[in-house]
Chain A
Amino acid sequence: MSDETVSHPATPPRFASRKRKAFDWRYTPGLGQYTALILVFLYAPLLILVIYAFNSSSMITVWQGFSFRWFLRIAQNADIRDAALNSLVIAVVATIASTLIAMTGALALERGRYFLGRNTVVMMINMPLVVPEIIVAISTLVFFSAIGMKNGLVNLMIAHTVFCIPFAILPIQTRLRDMGRSLEEAGRDLYADEWQLFRHITLPLLMPAIAAGAIMAFVVSLDDFLISMMVSSAGSTTLPVYVYGMMRLGVTPEVNAISTILLLVSLIFVGAALFLGRRNRRLA
Chain B
Amino acid sequence: MINVHGVSKSFSTPDIGAVQALKTVDLAIGGSEFFTLLGPSGCGKTTLLRLIGGFETPTTGSICIAGIDVAALPPQQRPVNTVFQSYALFPHMTVAENVAFGLRMQKRPERDIETQVATTLDMVRLGAFAQRRPSQLSGGQQQRVALARALAPRPNVLLLDEPLSALDLKLRKEMQSELKRLQRETGITFILVTHDQEEALAMSDRIAVMHEGRILQVGAPQDIYHNPANRFVADFIGEANLIPGAVLHRNAALTVAVRPERITLRKAAGMAGRLLGRIETVTFLGLDTLYEIEIANRNRIRVRLRDTGAGFDPGQEVAMDWAAEAERELMQ
Contact = CB atoms under 8 A, between A and B. Distances in A.
Q: Do chains A and B touch in the complex (CB under 8 A)?
A: yes
A74 B214 CA distance: 77
A189 B82 contact: yes
B84 A188 contact: no
Given A189-B81, A190-B81, A182 B88 contact: yes
B92 A186 contact: no
Interface string B55-93: 100000000000000000011110011101010111110
Interface string A162-197: 000000000000000000001101111111110010
Interface string A230-241: 000000000000
B76 A186 contact: no
Nearest to A184: B88
B126 to A, nearest CB: 18
B53 interface: yes
Given A191-B76, A191-B106, A185 B55 contact: yes
Contact of A188 (B76, B86, B106, B153): B76
Contact of B75 (A185, A200, A204): A185
B310 interface: no
A193 B91 contact: no
B102 interface: yes
B90 A191 contact: no
B84 A182 contact: yes
Interface class of chain A by DSSP: helix
A113 to B, nearest CB: 13
B88 A190 contact: no
Interface residues of B, number: 24
Contacts of A189: 53-55, 75-76, 80-82, 102, 150
Contacts of B54: 188-189
B287 interface: no
B69 to A, nearest CB: 19
B149 interface: yes
A196 B107 CA distance: 11
A85 interface: no
Contacts of B291: none
B101 A187 contact: yes
A283 interface: yes
Given A196-B105, A201-B90, A205-B92, A190 B84 contact: no
A250 B26 CA distance: 83
Given A185-B55, A196-B105, A190 B149 contact: yes
Nearest to A201: B90
B88 A183 contact: yes
A239 B80 CA distance: 59
A181 to B, nearest CB: 9
Contacts of B91: 205, 283
B105 A186 contact: no
Contacts of B76: 188-193
16 contacts: A183-B88, A185-B82, A185-B88, A186-B89, A186-B90, A187-B101, A188-B54, A189-B53, A189-B76, A189-B82, A190-B81, A190-B102, A204-B92, A205-B90, A205-B92, A283-B92
Interface of B: 53-55, 74-77, 80-82, 84, 86, 88-92, 101-102, 105-106, 149-150, 153
